[in-house]
């Protein structure tokens, strides 16, 4: 029954993921151990609910039923909690979920920053040893653990206050002095209780002893940053503790990188990249057993090892501009017509980022960064995307014909998508409104989120799951009422709700597919419109010239610097030859065949990839790139092949 409930949850989540995502790809699934105790360590944690996609892909690729660690507070939510229970997820009580505002205000004693003084506080009733005092967001949520409550207005903490962004005692004292000048007595604060994790560790150890698998997001919470959050040490304690308790046990740690193309958007794409599994060194286990400083050293070393392994299967940028530069460089390096799958796109981006970190101080790289950011700014001003620049039509007559044709095509797809779109309108509207509201709330309450995008997709899905059955029930009742008003027979009235339950999903599926085709056509219109604006022809010609010049410079730099990073680098590739590449999984091979058959071109796929593409090709001369042969290679250890 336990396995059946897990399988039921996987079926439900498969349906959810197929509706929300246009495509999900996995890489390196052949690395995942099929038997024995495994801890899956995944990052970055960019999506609150949909990161459970990792469990789905593990199940599909290996048949393993991984149990996730999930915040105990999330287990109390109706939809997420129900799904978590079906998946047998292990709840983790987080201290911050039980934090409460403290009475009065606090300030640090200048001569002894480990002594906290209060005004109108009630430390003796609200605090106790091992609890934590956390200061407000404007000073980085600086916090410290309580070691002794001296009185209602005095408490001693374990160490000086520290917060995010390297906020320390100096910054806290500076903010304190500023508040004093403004007439304030100190800071508001929160009392964070100490939470024992003994029950959680007991469940984890039992699962690993049984040869099962655990899935962990070591960052501790979801976020929308371009880099990792500091890793929690929980997964290292689990692996070392399990092996210390059971001398015959060998736990493996499986790194898994997660990458979304616009994670918060409906019908986006995702890639899950599994690295090589790591054995937990026995010497670390012996250090762990001895306790004290050696235990902390063993835990730290294991965390660092896993951190490095995750860096190899993820895309991490120090800031948004750098990420934009890398994404643009990837597009500029891959010429129009070359064939990339999304997992290859991810791998190429990763290689470019590795090279950027190594050579970022070189004048050529700095100038390229500046010029690429300038090129991106020009694209934004014109409302264009990079992949549209090479095919921007210079002939006004041809551009006008294409614009008319695609506008008609857009109208056709819109008409086909309209019924399902209208019927599902309440779902879309409510999901959008509620997800935006929840995103703002999460952003206000978080110390790590940038724009709160990590919760948008979660709430869109949750709202849809709740609202959809209610809306369909309303439509069924409305159908019965209309049937009665129309004088239908009793048999037809009884059959009406069943007909509605069959017809509505079909209409929704049609709206989904036709809507996708319509959006692809809509995205292809801006360059045509721009080319028809008086005076913009010269701008387009200049933009094309700029793109070509940037592409040539980038390729030259890559060919020059690439051999310094990759021993097997050649003019045509920075990739292990196909003969030495790791074997592809069945899903990899099937997915590649599907893409070759459909002509899909990765993230920058043909914008007219719809049932009438053949007409677009024959009327206006658009052709698909030549299909690639297995074994062709490109720069970066991609999953696909690219013709050079």
pLDDT tens-digit readout, 487-514: 888 888 889 888 888 888 888 888 877 8
For range 88-105, the mean pLDDT: 88
Q: How far does the chain reach from its first CA to its final CA, in angstroms?
A: 53
User: Residue 388 and residue 563: Cα distance in Å, rounded?
Assistant: 31
Residue 363's Cβ-side half-sphere holds a number of Cα atoms within 13 Å equal to 0
Residue 411, pLDDT > 60, answer yes
The whole-number pLDDT of residue 40 equals 94
User: Residue 418 and residue 424: Cα distance in Å, rounded?
Assistant: 10
The whole-number pLDDT of residue 600 equals 36
- DSSP H or E segment with residue 57: helix 53-62
Q: Can you give 507-548 as a three-state secondary structure string?
A: HHHHHHHHHHHHHHHHHCCHHHHHHHCCCHHHHHHHHHHHHH
Take residue 568 and report the two structure tokens written for it. 């097997």
Q: What is the pLDDT of residues 173-210, one digit of tens each?
A: 989 988 888 888 889 999 999 988 888 999 999 999 99
Average per-residue pLDDT for the chain: 79
Q: Which of 86-95, 522-531, 575-584 has the lowest mean pLDDT?
A: 575-584
Take residue 239 and report the two structure tokens written for it. 């692996």
User: Residue 544 and residue 386: Cα distance in Å, rounded?
Assistant: 10
CATH of domain 2-93+197-311: 3.40.1130.10
Q: Are 133 and 192 in contact (CB under 8 A)?
A: yes
The whole-number pLDDT of residue 555 equals 86
Q: Which DSSP string corresponds to 238-257?
A: HHHHHHHH-TT---EEEEEE
Residue 552: CB atoms within 10 Å: 11
Phi, psi of 267 (to 5 degrees): 65, 40
Q: What is the pLDDT of residues 138-163, one digit of tens each?
A: 888 889 999 999 999 999 999 999 88
Q: Are 70 and 123 in contact (CB under 8 A)?
A: no
397 three-state secondary structure: helix
Q: Which of 313-317, 536-540, 558-562, 582-586 has the lowest mean pLDDT?
A: 582-586
Percent of the chain scoring above 70 in pLDDT: 83
Q: What is the value of pTM for the model shown?
A: 0.69
Q: How confident is the model at residue 572 (pLDDT cuts 50, 70, 90)?
A: very low
The whole-number pLDDT of residue 392 equals 66
Q: Are 192 and 131 in contact (CB under 8 A)?
A: yes
The whole-number pLDDT of residue 485 equals 87
Q: Smallest Cα–Cα separation from 436: which of 463, 397, 409?
A: 463
Domain ranges of the chain: 2-93+197-311, 96-192, 396-528
Sheet-wide strand order for 132-134: 100-101, 190-192, 132-134, 143-149, 154-157, 112-119, 105-109
């Amino acid at each position: 029954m336990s396995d059946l409930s897990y399988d039921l949850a996987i079926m439900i989540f498969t349906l959810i993921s197929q509706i929300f995502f246009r495509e999900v790809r996995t890489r390196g699934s052949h690395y995942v151990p099929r038997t024995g105790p495994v801890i899956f360590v995944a990052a970055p944690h960019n999506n609150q609910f949909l990161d459970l996609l990792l469990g789905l892909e593990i199940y599909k690729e290996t048949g393993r039923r991984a149990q996730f660690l999930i915040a105990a507070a999330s287990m109390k939510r109706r939809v997420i909690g129900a799904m978590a229970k079906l998946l047998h997820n292990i709840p983790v009580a987080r201290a911050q979920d039980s934090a409460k505002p403290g009475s009065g205000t606090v300030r640090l004693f200048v001569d002894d920053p480990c002594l906290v003084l209060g005004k109108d506080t009630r430390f003796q009733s609200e605090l106790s040893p091992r609890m934590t005092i956390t200061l407000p967001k404007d000073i980085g949520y600086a916090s410290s653990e309580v070691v002794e409550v001296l009185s209602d207005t005095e408490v001693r903490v374990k160490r000086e206050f520290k917060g995010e962004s390297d906020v320390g005692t100096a910054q806290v004292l500076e903010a304190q002095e500023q508040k004093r000048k403004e007439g304030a007595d100190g800071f508001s604060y929160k009392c964070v209780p100490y939470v024992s994790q003994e029950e959680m560790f007991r469940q984890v150890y039992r699962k690993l002893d049984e040869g099962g698998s655990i899935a962990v997001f070591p960052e501790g919470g979801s976020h929308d940053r371009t880099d990792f959050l500091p890793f929690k040490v929980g997964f290292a304690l689990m692996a070392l503790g399990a092996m210390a308790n059971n001398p015959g046990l060998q736990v493996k740690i499986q790194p898994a990188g997660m990458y979304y193309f616009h994670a918060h958007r409906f019908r986006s794409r995702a890639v899950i990249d599994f690295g090589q599994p790591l054995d937990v060194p026995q010497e670390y286990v012996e250090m762990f057993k001895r306790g004290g400083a050696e235990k902390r050293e063993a835990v730290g070393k294991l965390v660092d090892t896993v951190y490095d392994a995750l860096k190899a299967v993820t895309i991490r940028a120090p800031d948004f501009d750098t990420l934009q530069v890398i994404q643009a460089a990837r597009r500029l390096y891959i010429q129009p017509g070359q064939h990339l799958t999304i997992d290859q796109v991810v791998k190429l981006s990763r290689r470019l980022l590795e090279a950027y970190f190594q050579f970022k101080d070189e004048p050529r790289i700095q100038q390229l960064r500046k010029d690429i950011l300038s090129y991106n700014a020009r694209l934004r001003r014109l409302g264009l995307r990079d992949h549209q620049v090479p095919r921007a039509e210079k002939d006004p007559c041809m551009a006008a014909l294409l614009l008319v044709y695609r506008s008609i095509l857009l109208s056709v797809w819109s008409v086909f998508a309209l019924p399902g779109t209208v019927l599902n309108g309440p779902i879309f509207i409510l999901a959008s409104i509620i997800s935006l509201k929840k995103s703002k709330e999460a952003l206000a309450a978080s110390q790590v989120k940038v724009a709160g995008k990590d919760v948008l997709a979660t709430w869109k899905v949750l709202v849809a799951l709740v609202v959809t059955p209610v809306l369909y029930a309303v439509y069924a009742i409305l159908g019965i009422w209309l049937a009665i008003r129309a004088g239908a027979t009793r048999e037809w009235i009884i059959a009406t709700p069943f007909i509605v339950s069959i017809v509505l999903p079909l209409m929704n599926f049609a709206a989904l597919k036709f809507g996708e085709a319509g959006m692809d056509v809509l995205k292809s219109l801006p360059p045509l419109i721009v080319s028809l604006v008086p005076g913009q022809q010269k701008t387009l010609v200049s933009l094309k010239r700029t793109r070509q010049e940037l592409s040539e410079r980038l390729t030259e730099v890559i060919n020059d610097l690439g051999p310094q990073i990759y021993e097997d680098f050649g003019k045509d590739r920075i990739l292990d030859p196909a003969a030495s590449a790791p074997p592809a999984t069945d899903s990899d091979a099937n997915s590649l065949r599907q893409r070759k058959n459909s002509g899909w071109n990765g993230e920058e796929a043909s914008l007219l990839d719809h049932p009438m593409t053949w007409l677009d090709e024959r009327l206006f001369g658009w052709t698909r790139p030549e299909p690639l042969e297995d074994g062709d290679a490109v720069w970066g250890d991609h999953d696909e092949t690219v013709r050079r």
